[in-house]
Amino acid sequence: MCRYLRGRALVELLVLSVLCWSSRVWSETLVEQDVDNRITVAFHVSGLELQRWLPVPWEIDAVAKGPNQGANLSISFVDRLISQDAEGKLMRGGTNRFVGLSVPVKQRQTGETAIMVIRLYTADPQYVPGPYKNSILTRIRREAALQGADLEPGIGTEVWEIEDRAGGRLDLRVDYERSVPSRAKTETKPHSSVDPDFYRIYRVDDGADVVKSVPSAIERVRSYEFRTTIQELNRLFDGSEQLISITVRPWYVRQVFLP
């Protein structure tokens, strides 16, 4: 009898777990599906200046391990190849180019960790103010090239030029040796710096080619140039910033859900 009761209790526990999981999934709403090319540059910048971008009670929580260890600011240069809604219809023309700044953060009171989007520079006027309410319209130009022969990995080049309405610029150029990307499926919940209670759920299948990492001693970058004259970024990039890593993402396939 005891064995029967234990078995029944286990079954009931499993059923309850499945129901709870199903309830969570059913409560989420698919709102967007995207396919991108990306390159992400991670830095360690002045914590004092970066903290000014974050709402109370959130604070910087620099990456603790891995190829981005020590980074407290990531800049992702995104070429959106296609954007669709939940039914597969194109959203805002279906394409976009934008640059996103994000910070790893921790909620001081609860200990919750997250990624916080603090700024988006976009080429699409329909993406202003954007889902995180902090998008700014800019002009964006991208050049990308891949070279290779037979089975060799080859080399790649990324050039990005961003210009805001005041004439400030953000420029990136990277020449790198390619390798086989690491494929992973991840889930993140980026929050908005304008409305920190708002977040979206990203479920991503992507390939990451880490071409430079100071903590992991990876160096496949042939040449690199990053500079900015955008006024709001001047205090973050005053010459004291440290480059931590550069990651090329040849594919980034994402589903976006609202909780």
In a domain, 165, yes or no: yes
In a domain, 2, yes or no: no
DSSP label at 61?
A: -
Question: Residue 121's domain spans which residues?
Answer: 28-258
In a domain, 34, yes or no: yes
In a domain, 90, yes or no: yes
In a domain, 5, yes or no: no
Closest CA to 41 of 222, 238, 210, 240: 210
Percent of the chain with pLDDT over 70: 90
In a domain, 225, yes or no: yes
In a domain, 109, yes or no: yes
Reported as a single tens digit per residue, the pLDDT across 156-209 is: 999 999 999 999 999 999 999 999 999 999 999 999 999 999 999 999 999 999
Average pLDDT along the chain: 92
Asked whether the whole model's pTM tops 0.85, one would answer yes
Q: Does 17 score more than 70 pLDDT?
A: no
| Number of domains within the chain | 1
Helix (H) or strand (E) holding 99: strand 96-107
We report the CATH number of the domain holding residue 34 as: 2.40.400.10
Closest CA to 247 of 196, 212, 215: 212
Reported as a single tens digit per residue, the pLDDT across 131-165 is: 999 999 999 999 999 999 999 999 999 999 999 99
| Both structure tokens of 180 | 């086989």
Q: What is the pLDDT of residue 26?
A: 59
